[in-house]
Amino acid sequence: MTSKRSDAITKGFERTPQRALLKGTGVPDSQMDRPFIGIATSFTDLIPGHTGMRDLERFIEKGVHSGGGYSFFFGIPGVCDGIAMGHRGMHYSLPTRELIADMIESVAEAHRLDGLVLLTNCDKITPGMLMAAARLDIPCIVVTAGPMMAGRGTEGRRFSFVTDTFEAMARYKAGVIDEKELMVCEDQACPTAGSCQGLFTANTMAILTETLGMSLVRCGTALAVSSLKRRIAFASGERIVKLVQDGITPRQILTRQAFENAIRVDLALGGSSNTVLHLLSIAREAGVELPLKEFDRLSRETPQLASMNPGGKHFMEDLDAAGGVPAVLYQLREKILDNPTLTGPTIKEIIASVAKVDEEVVRPVSDPVRAEGGIAILHGNLAPDGAVVKQSGVSEKMMVFEGRARCFDSEELAMAALMGGNIVAGDLVVIRYEGPKGGPGMREMLAPTAALMGLGLGDSVALITDGRFSGGTRGPCIGHISPEAAEGGPIALVAEGDLILLDIPNRRLELKVDEATLSARRSLWKKPEPKIKGGWLSRYAAMVTSANTGAVLKSE
């Protein structure tokens, strides 16, 4: 390493003012020549997945200094989707992804940092950090803080956040459980620090980060409370200094092969539908062309190998004990493409190192949970630019369904109808004007989808939206419908009582209304007034693109 980015603030008499300010922070002369490593930490007291990060910060810092670097912490905000769910706060969740990427870019460029350790965990924070890494293309390594342990009850029962809070709420409303049992769920659902226990968005993104080669082996599944996570944090601190010295940057790792591998692992595990948005956005920053149709092409040839909570029986702690990401790569080995990683060994070398896989948790390709992957991309006259369904969470009975449209122009109106008993078998709930622009912010719909399941309607009612879903959503729920209603997409033209056909095997979403009727409705449609007219979200709504392109901000 002949020169460093940080030389711009440490070398020459012209940089006397900058060195004075660095000394003002406590940097001694003996450390001025070391690589300057920023540790972007999303620690906060507000999110269970992030409350344990103070501990990991210490180990990353020790690793950086042991490796020969000098570290600087700087803070990155986070939003807990579970806490933000079902009210105005959820408008802000997806937009924070863009803010996080912009903030990391700003700090790293302004201070000429040589490399970054990105300490993250929850839903939009991880993709925001990966977007920044790809955009900056300076040495970076990601540390995901890890999943929480499952709650424990009597007779071996295990509790999880979504099933035992959101769905339990609906079961309580329906009289299936009493207040005492509801309180047990509330007390047991989140027993430790860490991201929620199932294969929700946070844990799916952690797994995909490791698959992409941007974090160390086992980082994606090692529990937040484990000593293994501490050792990974230390090793990541050491590794970033080596990456700076060797000039290894994210775009050398984030290739088309890396994204294809990540999609396959996601499909094999039945992960969150939000990963479609996030992988598209990260690929864009990395300069990799990744069309939406690739998700479906890969889904048709990648079997689902695991039955993970919320739709299945296994928790993240089970996947970690079964061998984590390397175990999934091993089972998919004939379909996985070789690619370098930041860790040193290539993907194929990681696969070759696998000694044993618990095949009860990660099944072989010859004996899959389902023949196709966990995510499907639908098209049709209702979604010309595509829609996304987590088919791993849909029962066989609902893979093909025709229902009567029940139209709601907000999540709140749909939720009131569900909880008021106004949705019955044969209905198809349409929630619109909740897309990237219309929401704004493309709110997650965990509350209505969990209510659907909790009320026992998962095999008789479907739900579609131009918004999106939590990674914890299961059931016949189709999101990301593009174009969205606020852009005049066909979902805006659906009328109460229209018949809609959902055909997941044939990837179709069709509004069974003739074109002449739709044309007449289209001529009467008027663009609605923005729901939020001030602050950051009004600027976001003006700049955000469609869900089928990742809901990224326009660059010009």
- Considering the domain architecture, whether residues 234 and 91 belong to the same structural domain is answered as yes
Confidence band, pLDDT 50/70/90 cuts, at residue 556: low
Which value, in Å, is the radius of gyration of the alpha carbons in the chain? 23
434 is in an annotated binding site: no
Residues 69, 171: one domain? no
Query: Exposed, middle or buried by CB within 10 Å (0-12, 13-18, 19+), for 545?
Result: middle
Residue 391 lies in a domain: yes
Can you read off the two tokens belonging to residue 413? 């109106």
Question: What is the C-alpha separation between 104 and 74, in angstroms, rounded?
Answer: 9
Side-chain-facing half-sphere of 462: CA atoms under 13 Å: 29
Domain limits for position 394? 375-520+531-549
302 pLDDT more than 70: yes
Structure tokens at 497: 């009582």
CB atoms within 10 A of CB 255: 18
Give me the torsion for CA of 226, 311, 503, 408, rounded to 10°: -90
Give the tens place of pLDDT for each residue, 85-124: 888 999 999 999 999 999 999 999 999 999 999 999 998 9
Last residue of a domain, one of 164, 188, 212: 188
Residues 342, 475: one domain? no
Q: Which of 295, 318, 352 finishes a domain?
A: 352
Q: Is 465 helix (H, G, I), strand (E, B) or coil?
A: strand
Q: Binding residue per annotation — 266? A: no
Task: Give the CATH number for residue 474.
Answer: 3.50.30.80
Beta-carbon count within 10 A of 54 CB: 11
Do 178 and 88 fall within a single domain? no
Residues 514 and 438 in one domain: yes
Compute φ and ψ for 463, nearest 5 degrees: -140, 135
DSSP element (H, E) containing 482: strand 477-482
Whether 313 has a binding-site annotation, put simply, is no
For residue range 501-554, what is the model confidence (pLDDT) as tens digits? 999 999 999 999 999 999 999 999 999 999 999 999 999 999 999 999 999 998
Beta bridge partners of 141: 117
Active site residues: 470
Determine if residue 123 is labeled as part of a ligand binding site: yes
Same domain, 436 and 319: no
Residues 457, 386 share a domain: yes
Is residue 507 in a domain? yes
Residue-wise pLDDT for 40-83, tens only, equals 999 999 999 999 999 999 999 999 999 999 999 999 999 999 89
Q: Are residues 236 and 88 part of one domain?
A: yes
Shared-domain flag, residues 171 and 144: no
Q: Which residue has the tokens 């620090």?
A: 193
Taking Cα atoms as reference points, which of 258, 239, 198, 329 lies closest to residue 35?
Answer: 239
Task: In whole angstroms, give the CA distance from residue 318 to residue 195.
Answer: 15
**197 and 179 share one domain:** no
Residue 364 covered by a domain: no
333-376 pLDDT tens trace: 999 999 999 999 999 999 999 999 999 999 999 999 999 999 99
Digit-coded pLDDT (tens) for 113-171:
999 999 999 989 999 999 999 999 999 999 999 999 999 887 788 998 877 888 888 88
Q: Which of 549, 414, 532, 529 is nearest to 90 (CA)?
A: 532
Q: Say whether both 331 and 198 belong to one domain.
A: yes
Going from the C-alpha of 1 to that of each of 72, 116, 183, 242, the distances in angstroms are 21, 17, 58, 10
> Same domain for 220 and 306?
yes
Distance, CA of 431 to chain centre: 21
- Examine residue 554 and state whether it is found in any structural domain, yes or no: no
Examine residue 252 and state whether it is found in any structural domain, yes or no. Answer: yes
Residue 472 has pLDDT above 80, yes or no: no
The neighbour count for residue 72, using CB atoms within 10 Å, is 18
Task: Please indicate, yes or no, if residue 167 is contained in any of the structural domains.
Answer: yes
Count the domains in the chain: 3
Q: Would you call 212 exposed, middle or buried from its count of C-beta atoms within 10 A (0-12, 13-18, 19+)? A: buried
pTM assigned to the model: 0.95
Does the structure show a pLDDT above 80 at 2? no
Q: DSSP characters for 8-74?
A: HHHSSGGGHHHHHHHHHTT--GGGTTSPEEEEEE---TT-TTTTTHHHHHHHHHHHHHHTT-EEEEE
User: For the chain, what percent of residues have pLDDT higher than 70?
Assistant: 100
**Beta strand 427-431 pairing with 400-408:** parallel
The pLDDT of 11-29, averaged and rounded, is 97
Q: Is residue 334 part of a domain?
A: yes
Residue 277: give its domain's CATH number: 3.40.50.2300
369 CB-near residues (< 8 Å, 6+ apart): 270, 303, 304, 305, 306, 307, 312, 363, 392
Q: Which of 302, 317, 352 is the last residue of a domain?
A: 352
Query: Is the residue at 294 inside a domain?
Result: yes
> Measuring CA to CA, which residue among 41, 36, 11 is closest to residue 25?
36
